[in-house]
Amino acid sequence: MKNIVIIGGGVGGTLVSNYLSHKLKEEIREGKTKITLISDRDKQLYEPGLLYMIFNRMEEGELFKELTYLLDPMIDLKIERATKIVADENYVETEKGRYDYDYLVIATGSRIVPEEVPGLVEGGHWFYNVEGARRLRDELARFKGGKIVVSIMGIPHKCPVAPIEVTFMLHDFFKLHRLRDKVEILYTYPINRVFTLENVTEVVVEYFNERGIKYKTFFNPIEVDAKNKKIITLEGEEEPYDLLIAIPPHKGSQLIIDSGLGDRDGWVPTDRYTLKVEGYDNIYAVGDATNLPVSKAGSVAHFEAEVISENIAAQIKGLPPTARYFGKAMCFIEMGFDLGTYIWFDYETPPKLVKPNKFIHWSKIAYNRLYWLTARGVL
């Protein structure tokens, strides 16, 4: 009997589980293989929907689905928090027990740590989790004028383009509410341009300029003065705000840190082609959890899940595991309430940006509904 254990019921974890159970149907039926998914939450959150939730364009109820609905029934689902991976002895400890594995997949994602910027919890807002999005939705509905700062407080963070998207959507939101002339929008980014990829930067800056959206670069906040509503930066600047929308710093799961498997911020060192955790032949990492120089995006988790499931299934069937990941990523970029574009890229191919248009925006809106089919391994 071969045991495959997957930790984390997000995009990466559910996809690896579903693809594996599909590929290993016979082996599972015959009792030769078992797939166990350990997740600390019984529902999955569709995170991209948070961007729409803050503008009341998606409701909270639409953003969650039960894992039992998403998973193939042949997968053994355990709703437990994993507390330690003992990698040298091939087992995982949870709050409730111990799971031995032949193959392990780490799909524990990333999390925001707003508490690491002093004053941010008291003085700022964010939309990177449900509680934050709820608070921000209410605040945006109340906001009648003043200066909004969208500030990226660390790289890497989930969905590299989400801060750009929210900035464009803020512009359209306040335009619809006939308040745009009373609202100043400032976007800040840590490096010397508004986005990591140069050709995306060019288009974004052009659209920012057209819309009167201001931006500052080389801007690394170290503190938020909540009382006086100011952001203080490492570069020695002070930026006042009326509403601060932060992209807080991110870290890997505490489990990775506690198991001694990650780097300083808890990202798992991962081989960029095989997706094996460095130093281990039977442990893979998928999605946000890795230290790979690719976007922390659901689409990346999706493409990586295909490679990992193919290779684990091959090994169980006694075949050579030849699938490789080449850095493929796809990101939609909303540029307002009715305009969108997207980028495709990989390790060797830089992205080309399509001229923003309505069709791509509506494709994203449609995908927001179709996503659950992806999670089930259908689409």
Partner 1 sequence: MSRIVVDARGSFCPGPLMELVKTIKDAEVGTEIEVLSSDESSAKDIPEWVKKAGHELVGVEKKGDYWSIVVKKLK
Ligand X SMILES: Cc1cc2nc3c(=O)[nH]c(=O)nc-3n(C[C@H](O)[C@H](O)[C@H](O)COP(=O)(O)OP(=O)(O)OC[C@H]3O[C@@H](n4cnc5c(N)ncnc54)[C@H](O)[C@@H]3O)c2cc1C
Q: Where are the alpha helices (DSSP H) in the chain?
A: 11-23, 25-29, 50-53, 67-70, 120-123, 130-142, 162-176, 198-211, 254-258, 298-316, 358-375
- Residue 368 structure tokens: 């927001």
> What residues line the site for ligand X (CB under 6 A)?
7-13, 38-41, 47-48, 50-51, 81-82, 107-109, 127-128, 158-159, 162, 253, 255, 287-289, 296-299, 301, 331-332
Q: Which of partner 1, ligand X, none interacts with 152 (beta carbon under 5 to 8 A by kind)?
A: none
| Residue 236 is a binding residue for partner 1 (CB under 8 A) | yes
Give the one residue of 79, 130, 222, 323 binding partner 1; rule: CB under 8 A: 222
Minimum distance, C-beta of residue 130 to ligand X, in the bound complex (Å): 10
| Residue 31 is a binding residue for partner 1 (CB under 8 A) | no
Stretch binding partner 1 (CB under 8 A), from 1-9, 218-226, 315-323, 366-374:
218-226
- Residue 86 structure tokens: 């003992």
Within 8 A by CB and 6+ apart from 95, the residues are 80, 81, 83
φ and ψ of 259, to 5 deg: -90, 0
Cα 362 to Cα 356: distance, rounded to the nearest angstrom: 12
Stretch 108-167 residues interacting with partner 1 (CB under 8 A): 154-155
Give the one residue of 64, 91, 218, 280 binding partner 1; rule: CB under 8 A: 218
The CB-nearest residue to ligand X is 10
Q: Between 62 and 116, whose beta carbon lies closer to partner 1?
A: 116
Stretch binding partner 1 (CB under 8 A), from 53-61, 163-171, 189-197, 351-359:
189-197
Q: Between 190 and 377, whose beta carbon lies closer to partner 1?
A: 190
CA within 13 Å, CB half, 37: 31
Whether the bond into 156 is cis, omega within 30 of 0: yes
Task: Name the one residue in this structure whose structure tokens are 């001229």.
Answer: 355
